[in-house]
Amino acid sequence: MKYLFYTLSVIILFASCEPQQPAKNIHIRNTMATIYVQQAPEYRALTEQAYALARISLNNQFRIATSPLAVVLDIDETVLDNSPFQAKQILENFNYPAHWDEWCKKEEARPIPGSLEFLQYADSKGIVIFYISNRKEHLLEATINNLNKYGYPQVDSNHIMLRTSTSSKETRRQKVLDQGLEIALLIGDNLDDMSAEFEVEDVDKRKEAVFANQSKFGTKYIVLPNPTYGKWVSNRGFYNGKLDQDSLAASYLNGF
């Protein structure tokens, strides 16, 4: 009886020490997208291609410009690569904005391929550069430090416009125009980086806006690839912990 009691006690002890199963990782579907950004040569080819096209378009506009030109571009996934933050979300199963400030303050985001060379070229041509980002204003110093680390041009509080009250960038773009500048190029990984026309929640209406503006893509609008996050993700309900992500994904797949 004493041996039986000891055995049961050990079993209960080990059972109580057994780790609890973690909550289902709602970011696991992002794994291949993040690996694509970090490992696929095709991703680098696409970003280099985007900035090569931006240079061609800028040269074309520079030759015929009658006003001083500006380039307006996003920062995250357009100039700086935050894929290590995406990877941490997957590995540790947490949601933005947890650890986002911590990541930004490390000042370790690396350049998106093609971005540095293009912006240094634009700067050499006398183009005014504005970095309009939805990072919050308290991250301004860390953002400046991160960009300066790699030699990005025109990096200061006059040329970096971070988010204050609204995520819409329209007001900040208007501030550029109010300086008598013509915006030659808008560059970003999200359609909202280009125009308020895309700032709608309905996916079909965003598609219609793309069709209506198709002549601007590759000439005035330059889009960077970002399969990991963005409005397309939130509009479709991904990363909403209240929704079954597997069923949600299956509902969007079109097979034959």
Percent of the chain with pLDDT over 90: 77
Could you tell me the pTM of the whole model? 0.89
pLDDT of residue 53: 98
Q: For residues 214 and 241, which has the higher predicted lDDT (pLDDT)?
A: 214
Query: What topology does CATH give the domain 27-225?
Result: Rossmann fold (3.40.50)
Q: Is 233 within 8 Å of 248 (Cβ atoms)?
A: no
Q: Is 183 within 8 Å of 70 (Cβ atoms)?
A: yes
Residue 239 CA to residue 99 CA, distance in Å, equals 17
Is 207 buried (19+), middle (13-18) or exposed (0-12) by CB count in 10 A?
Answer: exposed
Confidence of residue 3 (pLDDT cuts 50, 70, 90): very low
The encoded tokens of residue 9 equal 């006690």
Confidence of residue 234 (pLDDT cuts 50, 70, 90): confident
Mean pLDDT, residues 12-28 taken together: 55
- Helix/strand/coil for 135: strand
pLDDT of residue 1: 47
- 193-228 pLDDT, tens digit per residue, is 999 999 998 999 999 999 999 999 999 999 999 999
Residue 144 CA to residue 55 CA, distance in Å, equals 24
The phi and psi torsions of 110 (rounded to 5 degrees) equal -95, 160
Residue 69 CA to residue 242 CA, distance in Å, equals 46
